[in-house]
Amino acid sequence: MVVTVVSVLVALTALGVAPASAHGNDGDRGGRGDHGGGRCRSTAVGGDQTITVDGASVLVHLPAGYDRDRVPLVLDLHGSSSSGAGQMAGDGIRALSDREGFAVVAPDGAVPFNPAPGFSGFAWNIPGVPLVGTTVYPPAGTRDDVRFLSHVIDGVSSLACIDASRVYATGVSGGGRMASQLACDLPDRIAAIAPISGVRFPLAADTPPHTVTCSPGRAVPVIAIHGVWDPVNAFADTPPAEAATLPAKINPPVPGSSWTYSAQTAVQRWAANNGCRPTPKVRAETPNIDVVSYRGCRADGDVVLYEVKNSGHASPGHGNPALDFLLNPTNNEVDGTVVAWQFLEAHRLK
């Protein structure tokens, strides 16, 4: 039986239809912080911690053996109907943090989102974007998640010694979209992003009158990891030739929806923003993965697409076979969390 993710998501009419609030120029997004020149007085130790940010409990993991060294920070953002704790538990990032020596923070989105049995958690309030599988927008007055995540960075920086030039964002699905939005709206705080199954670069014409154009004002390094078999956020404008043989139906992008243009289009928009040459270089990483790299980008604003030919809507190496009928199978040739970190760690704010 062919099923799509959209078919299991119910309309959340109780939330209302007002668009997500714009951020404006309220000056409340935090600052660049200390890049390592000042003395750090943190008394935190390695392991899981909980901090409170704007009244919300936020999960933080500091690397094993942490001892007041200035470390990078990765915002690990959950997908729609998940949570920060679920994200951190499912993507292997704790072990990677301990091995590589970076801090991780995994907050919850602003919007309670329980669209169907088995899907329960939160969604991010992203400017101009309806909740996934619906045409419903978070109601007016919903927490501004861009401002909140800027405050999260401040909160972790108060807990531990964070290198403010090496703050990154990654996430899967809706978390990848939120990471993309942070690159648009907090380019002076986010050094690079690694959206998985969720890369975006919004333009005002995408879902008028709600969408706001991404205008970071600088070349933000981006690696997008995306499955060609993704039935939720379409990889391309047309489904692959083998689409009819897959358990979950792959539809083209739906104008006006939460995923209104393809992942390929989003990556091309980032390449244009970063001043890259329009024709990328393609090399085979594995028999089923091509690495599409845009070259000649200004200010080291690398743009890379991991094109995973035999994978659906999940991070490579972290799929759930029980959900293949909804999300399509997942490639296990690489670990998406590791691929993301290897790209992120090579970039810093200047």
- pLDDT, tens only, 33-74: 455 555 688 889 999 999 999 999 999 999 999 988 899 999
- Grade residue 134 by pLDDT with cuts at 50, 70 and 90: confident
More confident residue, 285 or 137: 285
Give residue-wise pLDDT tens across range 236-279.
999 999 999 999 999 999 887 788 999 999 999 999 999 999 99
Domain 6-11+44-344, CATH class in plain words:
alpha beta
Residue 194 main-chain phi, psi, to 5 deg: -140, 75
Q: For residue 221, give Cα distances in angstroms to 13, 38, 193.
A: 37, 27, 7
- Whole-number Å distance between alpha carbons of 132 and 114: 11
Q: Is the pLDDT of residue 88 over 50?
A: yes
More confident residue, 338 or 16: 338
347 Cβ neighbours under 8 A, 6+ residues apart: 166, 168, 191, 192, 221, 300, 302
**CB of 232 closer than 8 Å to CB of 259:** yes
Q: Cα-Cα-Cα-Cα dihedral of 260, 264, 267, 272, to 10°? A: -90
- Whole-number Å distance between alpha carbons of 60 and 51: 7
- Grade residue 312 by pLDDT with cuts at 50, 70 and 90: very high
- Whole-number Å distance between alpha carbons of 131 and 145: 14
Helices in the chain by DSSP H: which ranges? 84-90, 93-100, 145-159, 174-185, 263-273, 324-327, 336-344
Among candidates 198, 208, 313, which has minimal Cα distance to 263? 198
DSSP letter (8 states) at residue 18: P
Q: Is the pLDDT of residue 124 over 80?
A: yes
- Whole-number Å distance between alpha carbons of 270 and 146: 19
More confident residue, 13 or 258: 258
- Grade residue 167 by pLDDT with cuts at 50, 70 and 90: very high
The strand order across the sheet containing 281-286 reads 47-53, 56-62, 103-106, 71-77, 162-172, 192-196, 222-227, 303-308, 289-294, 281-286
Helix (H, G, I), strand (E, B) or coil at 149: helix
Region 232-238 average pLDDT: 96
Question: Whole-model pTM?
Answer: 0.90
- Grade residue 20 by pLDDT with cuts at 50, 70 and 90: very low
Predicted local confidence at residue 33, as pLDDT = 43
Helix (H, G, I), strand (E, B) or coil at 268: helix
Q: Is the pLDDT of residue 25 over 50?
A: no
Q: Is the pLDDT of residue 24 over 90?
A: no
Mean pLDDT of the chain: 89
